[in-house]
Amino acid sequence: MYILIYVDDILLTGNSSSDINRLLKNLHSRFQMRELGALSQFLGIQSISTTTGVLLHQKLYAQRILERAGMQSAKPVPSSSCCKTILTSKSHEPYENPQLYRHLLGSLQYLTLTRPDIQFVVHSLSQHMHHPLHQHFEGLKRLLRYISGTLHLGLPLDRGPLQLKGFSDADWANNTDDRKSISGYCNYLGNSPISWQVKKQTTVARSSTEAEYRSLAAEAAEVIWLRRLLEDFHTPQTTPTIIYCDNTSAIALANNPIYHARTKHIDVDCHFIRDSIHAKHVTVHHICTDDQTADIFTKSLPINRFKTIISKLTAALPH
């Protein structure tokens, strides 16, 4: 059995109904509590049983965000951001209501728990919370318009082989203000997306190879943590976890046991990925850029490409 406790909310699951009922009876005898039956909602996240597993979504929460913004009747758009728009801090037109901007973005950060398709845009807009400009609020309104048209999307958790795999990508010198790159990764357990991240790199990468290599290192650390967590859940990964990367130079650097003078400018701690490969915890494979799922976490994409990737990360609520 597994018990998830958050303050006074408890989620209980297991593979033996009799043992669960026995534990519930024991808890009722010791504490004042209510039993709400099968899982339908937990911490604002709703759950729907499907033929293949469960679908987690935050439709009601997203609707409340739209109501706070006064955009519940907004005209939907097909993608969360525009490829031609570049967010910067160099404009001189501050948004007159920065509290509203911060409030909406803070709420959207919680929505990313079941909506990986909006993670990149939320990350980008959050970098301007201290001094939002009009162009940033316009980007936020476009994101809200996208959400209003995709309230039916959620996070699918499907049954199947519990094999871990990951995707790693980077966008070199993405930020026009400081020229720092963006790292992005996502991990699947079987066919279910279970973790993802968008993060600006802390230092300026001198090449696309370095940017991709740093992203690979961050993904390797996440994979090793997930492997240890899965062992606690009695689901050990018996083979090295495959990480897919679309940069052949970064893959060669990760697999090369020789520390080249040309890579001395890369922090030494990034090179632990080589130790991870040598210890057979991970293995890095090349993947075509068109099949790189993590692409959605590093940049704004054309509509067709955006829709292709979100179909691999989300699923629609059943009618």
In a domain, 309, yes or no: no
| CATH assignment at residue 207 | 3.30.420.10
The answer on pLDDT for 261 being more than 60 is no
Is residue 8 in a domain?
yes
CB-CB neighbours of 106 under 10 Å = 12
91 with 208, same domain?
A: no
Range 112-137 average pLDDT: 94
314 belongs to a structural domain: no
> Is 219 in the same domain as 143?
no
Q: Are 39 and 55 in contact (CB under 8 A)?
A: no
Is the sign of the CA dihedral 244, 248, 250, 254 positive or negative? Answer: positive
92 with 179, same domain: the answer is no
Q: Is the pLDDT of residue 56 over 80?
A: yes
> pLDDT tens-digit profile of 230-255?
999 999 999 999 999 999 999 988 88
| pLDDT at residue 178, rounded to an integer | 83
Q: Is 63 exposed, middle or buried (0-12, 13-18, 19+ CB in 10 A)?
A: middle
Query: Is 319 domain-assigned?
Result: no
**Residue 183 and residue 147 share a domain:** no
Q: How confident is the model at residue 211 (pLDDT cuts 50, 70, 90)?
A: very high
Question: What is the pTM (predicted TM-score) of this model?
Answer: 0.91
The span from the CA of 239 to the CA of 143, in Å, is 40
Return the pLDDT at 109: 97
State the average pLDDT over residues 140-161: 95
What's the chain's length in residues? 319
Residues 179 and 274 in one domain: yes
Give pLDDT tens digits for 84-118: 666 666 666 899 999 999 999 999 999 999 999 99
For residue 59, which of 75, 78, 40, 74 has the smallest C-alpha distance?
Answer: 40
Average pLDDT over residues 248-274: 75
Task: Say whether both 27 and 64 belong to one domain.
Answer: no
Find the radius of gyration of the CA atoms of the chain: 22
Q: Which residues have C-beta within 8 Å of that of residue 269, sequence separation ≥ 6?
A: 217
Rounded mean pLDDT, 24-42:
90
212 touches 169 (CB < 8 A): yes
User: Average pLDDT in the 176-203 region?
Assistant: 93
Q: Is residue 69 part of a domain?
A: yes
* Higher local confidence (pLDDT), 268 or 204: 204
Q: Is residue 237 part of a domain?
A: yes
147 and 264 together in one domain: no
103, 122, 153: which is the final residue of a domain? Answer: 153
- Candidates 76, 120, 74, 180; CA nearest to 301 is 120
Query: 220-232 pLDDT, tens per residue?
Result: 999 999 999 999 9
Treating both helix axes as pointing N-terminal to C-terminal, what angle do 119-126 and 134-148 enclose, rounded to 10 degrees? 160
Residue 43 to residue 250: CA distance in whole angstroms = 40
Q: How many domains does the chain have?
A: 3
Shared domain for 180 and 263, answered yes or no, is yes
Domain presence at residue 243: yes
Percentage of the chain with pLDDT > 70?
93
Q: Give me the residues paired with residue 193 across strands.
A: 188
pLDDT at residue 152, as a whole number: 95
Q: Which domain holds residue 133?
A: 57-153
Question: Starting at the edge strand that comes first in sequence, how are the strands of the sheet with 45-49 ordered?
Answer: 41-42, 45-49, 53-57, 153-158, 315-316
Q: Is residue 236 part of a domain?
A: yes
3-state DSSP call for residue 222?
A: helix
Domain boundary among 133, 153, 173: 153
Q: What is the mean pLDDT of residues 53-79?
A: 95
* 264 in the same domain as 169: yes
Instruction: Mark whether 31 and 95 lie in a shared domain.
Output: no
What's the confidence (pLDDT) of residue 173? 84
Q: Are residues 87 and 23 in the same domain?
A: no
Select from 153, 184, 213 the last residue of a domain: 153
85 and 26 within one domain: no
